Amino acid sequence: MKRGFFILLVSALFALAVNGQTIKTDILVIGNGSNALGAGMQAAVSGVKTTILMQEAGFELAQPGASLHSGLEAEYLKKTAGKQAGQELLLKNWTDSTDKLTVIRSAYWSKLKRSGSGWSLELNDGRKIKARVLVNADRTGRVSTVLMLEAKKNQWVPFGYEQTAYRTSIGAGLPLNNVTANVIYTDALLVPEQENLVMLNPQQESLLAGQAAGATAGYAAFFKKKTSETNLKELQGELIKYKLSLVPFADISELDSNWKSIQFIGLSGVLKGALSNGSLNFNPEKTVTTDEVKEPIKEYYYKAQIWFDDYKQPDMTTGSTLALICYVKGKSLENTTEEVKKKWKKVYGFKDDFDPAKSISRREFAVLVSDYLQPFNVTIDKTGRVMR
């Protein structure tokens, strides 16, 4: 009798505790697809407390297919390589082992509303979740209906050099209609006049888009800013840090030792890729002509104008590239040449011997310019135009 009463008392106290519980988190992600997993994982590894809320018991991921795998998607594919079963257990272990990430499964919610500059959600069991930023990765449409939001469409757009917007990419490589040269921009994830809300298109599920959304939400939460105040360069740098491609080069995988430098150069447009049959190729072993880099570098650096006025050769060599770098940066050519010579194979991983007279390859040029001139660090506006 006493034992039964004690059990009932403990159960009642536990129920009261649950009903009155408020879960505080920086990021709340609602959904159970690839968008949700990518957003939750990236926000957590970016250093903010993140909660993924699912009505379902497990994740339902879209198959990556022919996308240009990078970032979390590439990591997921490595984890599942050769495994025909046990995906849900793998995902559970992956999320459980991720610091700052909590996944709430099989949970139903009744209320979702604004709470100050953040969000408040009430679960059917009485618990509440309060978050600074909401990521709507819900595939049922319920979140959009409750918040009276229009569905996001065509978040991925074709990559192109007609405008400078390609420099503002925060994700790349989702295949659409057999075309992999597609990118996603920050504005595509945000809602006008709705701060601290990030939305994803449920018709375009991918870890790629989810990762971009997670970093966007994570930036706002980490720095306690509005989502509209995101620093693009810092956001792009965070995504590249976690190996997400921002330029859809089909011939440069994240396993390439020079991937990071080539991504930075690709974003700057100092070296442009070649679009063909829906793919964008960097062609790393082709040599660099003076004409293809003259105008882009002059756009970034005033001093380059004088150097190119004096340089009359049709091709760039290793030596002339170093001379350009040293002229623009005011560095010693002799010392820089010796420094690069030591890095050539050990640090940069180049296969050919160092030869100042040799025509420089696009790979070599990208690495040297990224390392010494660092055009990625030059400020651009929201349209991708250089601001000096």
Q: What is the pLDDT of residues 302-348, one digit of tens each?
A: 999 999 999 999 999 999 999 999 999 999 999 999 999 999 999 99
Contact 235, 213 (CB under 8 A): no
Q: Is the pLDDT of residue 48 over 70?
A: yes
Q: Is the pLDDT of residue 13 over 90?
A: no
Contact 228, 55 (CB under 8 A): no
Percent of the chain residues past pLDDT 90, beyond the cut = 88
Q: Which residues contact 31 (CB under 8 A, 6 or more apart)?
A: 52, 54, 135, 136, 137, 138, 139, 200, 202
In this structure, how many other beta carbons lie within 10 angstroms of the beta carbon of residue 18?
Answer: 12
Q: What is the pLDDT of residue 66?
A: 87
Helix (H) or strand (E) holding 237: helix 232-241
Helix (H) or strand (E) holding 39: helix 34-45
Q: Report d(CA 268, CA 220) in Å as an integer.
A: 24
Q: Is the pLDDT of residue 378 over 60?
A: yes
Q: What is the pLDDT of residue 63?
A: 85
In this structure, how many other beta carbons lie within 10 angstroms of the beta carbon of residue 175?
Answer: 18
- Res. 104 pLDDT band, cuts 50 70 90: very high
Contact 223, 369 (CB under 8 A): no
Residue carrying structure tokens 């930036």 = 219
What one-letter code names the amino acid at 218? G
CATH code given to domain 19-147: 3.50.50.60
- Res. 22 pLDDT band, cuts 50 70 90: very high
- Six-digit token pair at 262? 């080539």
Q: Report d(CA 342, CA 305) in Å as an integer.
A: 29
What is the per-residue pLDDT across 183-241, written as a single tens digit (0 to 9) for each?
Answer: 999 999 999 999 999 999 999 999 999 999 999 999 999 999 999 999 999 999 999 99
- Indicate the pairing of strand 169-172 with strand 50-53: unpaired
Residue 97 has, within 13 A of its CA and on its CB side, a CA count of: 6
Q: Is the pLDDT of residue 3 over 60?
A: no
Q: Report d(CA 236, CA 40) in Å as an integer.
A: 18
Cα distances from 194 to residues 119, 188, 298, in angstroms, run 12, 13, 39
What one-letter code names the amino acid at 306? I
Contact 73, 208 (CB under 8 A): yes
What is the per-residue pLDDT across 122-172, written as a single tens digit (0 to 9) for each?
Answer: 999 999 999 999 999 999 999 999 999 998 888 999 999 999 999 999 999
- Res. 4 pLDDT band, cuts 50 70 90: low
Domain borders along the chain are: 19-147, 156-281, 290-377
